[in-house]
Amino acid sequence: MTTRSWWGWGTVEDAVTPQERQHLVDRVRAVLPDADLTFHEPPAPTTLDLPKSRIQPSDLYSTDPVDRLTHARGQAYRDITRNLAGDIGPVPDAVARPRTEQDVIKVLDHCGDNGIVVIPFGGGTSVVGGVEPRGIEGPVVTLDLQGMNRVLEVDPVSRAARIQAGVLGPHLEAQLKPHGFTLRHFPQSFEFSTLGGWLATRAGGHYATVNTHIDDFAESLRVVTPVGISESRRVPGSGAGPSPDRLFLGSEGTLGVITEAWMRLQRPPAHRAGASVRFADWERAVEAVRLIAQSGLHPANCRLLDPAEAFLNAGEPGAVLVLGFESADHPVDGQLTRALELCDGEVVEGAAQRWRRSFLRMPYQRDAMAQHGMITETFETACTWDRFAELHAAVTEAATRVLGEVCGAGIATCRFTHVYPDGPAPYYGIYAPGRWGSLTGQWDEIKAAVSEAVLNAGGTITHHHAVGRDHMPWYSRQRPDVFGAALAGAKAVLDPAGVLNPGVLTTRSTAGPVPR
Ligand SMILES: Cc1cc2nc3c(=O)[nH]c(=O)nc-3n(C[C@H](O)[C@H](O)[C@H](O)COP(=O)(O)OP(=O)(O)OC[C@H]3O[C@@H](n4cnc5c(N)ncnc54)[C@H](O)[C@@H]3O)c2cc1C
């Protein structure tokens, strides 16, 4: 039995050990000898003064203060720093825990009739303010779907399963295993995020090519909206007009509550082959990855680490490419051999294992470093290959400039999390000394500067972290105005009272003329 941390990532038991903490502090001190690395304990949740709930507790609604507090925000760096500072901000008035679809309908009806906002909540691992009741005047209910967590049906012939949306990653895989299947969708947040959250945010899994987003595995969705239930037909593909599933994939709790989905399954891989390659320079490494992405080889893992990222997280000098192939059906050594032929670099041992270990500890280490006043956070995008060099230069320049202005120092690292024939998804890490008491504001300044650079260079404001409340200013500029109006129209029809997660994706709750 483990205990979820109320203020940070994961479980209390898995938080960094004293030795791990000391090692991290020593490493930072070696690079930043002047940084103030004083340690700060989080406040006890019971000492925080919550606003009084405006909702009566009932068998539908819990108004327990710790329940409300632990559903008040997600798991971004700015959420962690505010928790550490005891800055509670807006908190939902109640938490509802449906166990059946009928319970979801009951909550939506009650809230719709009484002007109460509903925020769907899966694992609460949003990093974009997606579950935070920010800027909402009236009462708010957070709808925690984790009680709806079962695999209901498996179709072994078509290889698909009907699954309830509130299931967390490990529990989902544990239920599929006896049937000999896997969903094979492993975001870094896998342990603490849910199927419904993945679908509602178009999450990106661990695999680098082919099926990168959860969208690729969704066969059909069942969604409870305030005006009725939408369930799409189970088909492997359909040209019958715009896809109903595409309307709800990425809808971030604004158009309806995803209660179930038929998901495409796979057999677990039986054949694997992998290697790590070190490159003399970053440009050569990027070129090799482009060739591999366009070769049709489809590696499962194709993670390129820039020299700073490789040094910090795999202990390797130079840019490093971690390559992996796998299949449930056939040996993949030939694919690895051909991919290595496309690399103008040197094969190195052990980097992939060191990278993997570090990858799994990153969220815990981020929180530990925040306790010492460090700014450690990530942002991500995607762009076409023809624009990558320019985008990367602009983002690195913007990051270096803003880190100098806001923190006096700091570094930005880059890795590719996913690669496509037409472009990569670069993922940036920021490491900088912050000022205790100002960490959230400092990060917000950094984030605004790099987001401007990403958008101006033709990238997307997010490849897989979703829009939430934090990305709205940039998302509103990125999407076509006509599409924004169509989305507002869909919102007005499906959620006429505007109760579902307001402030996310649409700023207008009613359809109107297209802004020009
Ligand atoms: C350390 C860390 C690592 C991460 N790694 C990844 C990664 O590798 N890939 C990636 O894509 N993301 C990653 N994320 C971001 C986050 O985990 C994803 O956005 C994830 O999909 C959110 O799932 P969740 O169940 O926690 O949803 P929540 O955070 O609870 O909700 C996210 C959004 O979806 C809505 N929502 C949730 N459930 C439903 C539902 N059933 N119906 C309708 N709307 C719903 C919410 O209202 C909210 O807008 C990471 C986050 C952290 C903190």
Q: Are strands 346-348 and 160-164 parallel, antiparallel or unpaired?
A: unpaired
Q: Rg (Cα) of the chain, in Å, rounded?
A: 23
Residue-level pLDDT, tens digit, the chain, 516 residues: 899 999 999 999 999 999 999 999 998 998 888 899 999 999 999 999 999 999 999 999 999 999 999 999 999 999 999 999 999 999 999 999 999 999 999 999 999 999 999 999 999 999 999 999 999 999 999 999 999 999 999 999 999 999 999 999 999 999 999 999 999 999 999 999 999 999 999 999 999 999 999 999 999 999 999 999 999 999 999 999 999 999 999 999 999 999 999 999 999 999 999 999 999 999 999 999 999 999 999 999 999 999 999 998 888 899 999 999 999 999 999 999 999 999 999 999 988 888 888 888 999 999 999 999 999 999 999 999 999 999 999 999 999 999 999 999 999 999 999 999 999 999 999 999 999 999 999 999 999 999 999 999 999 999 999 999 999 999 999 999 999 999 999 999 999 999 999 999 998 543 344 444
pTM above 0.75, yes or no: yes
Residues 6 or more apart in contact with residue 315 via CB below 8 angstroms: 351, 354
Residues 137, 117 contacting (CB under 8 angstroms): no
Return the structure tokens found at 119: 């925020």
Q: What are the DSSP calls for 468-508, one per residue? A: TTTTHHHHHHHS-HHHHHHHHHHHHHH-TT--BSTTSS-S-
126: Cβ below 6 Å to ligand 1?
Answer: yes
**What is the pLDDT, as a whole number, of residue 513?**
42
Q: Is 424 in the pocket of ligand 1 (CB under 6 A)?
A: no
The number of the ligand 1 atom at minimal distance from the alpha carbon of 168 is 25
Tell me how far apart the alpha carbons of residues 167 and 164 are, in angstroms, rounded to a whole number. Answer: 6
Q: Is 232 in the pocket of ligand 1 (CB under 6 A)?
A: no
Atom of ligand 1 at shortest range from CA of 248:
43
Q: Which of 482, 489, 495, 490 is nearest to 512 (CA)?
A: 489
Confirm or reject: Cβ of 163 under 6 Å from ligand 1.
no
Q: Ligand 1 center to residue 456 CA distance, Å?
A: 26
Residue nearest to atom 41 of ligand 1 (CA): 196
Q: Is the CB of 131 under 6 A from ligand 1?
A: yes
CA nearest neighbour of 138 among 111, 117, 160, 109: 117
Single-letter code of the amino acid located at 1: M
From CA 103, how far away is CA 110, in angstroms rounded? 10
**Could you tell me if the CB of 375 is within 6 A of ligand 1?**
no
DSSP 267: P
Quick check: CB of 120 below 6 Å from ligand 1?
yes
pLDDT value at position 30? 87
How far does residue 292's CA lie from ligand 1's centre (Å)? 30
* b (16+ CB within 10 A) / e for 463-492: bbbbbbbbbbebbbebeeeeebbebbebbb
Which helix (H) or strand (E) covers residue 158, if one does? none
pLDDT of residue 139: 98
SS3 241: coil
Selection from 313, 288, 316, 312 nearest residue 302 by Cα? 288
pLDDT value, residue 508: 52
Tell me how far the alpha carbon of residue 282 lies from the centroid of ligand 1, in angstroms: 32
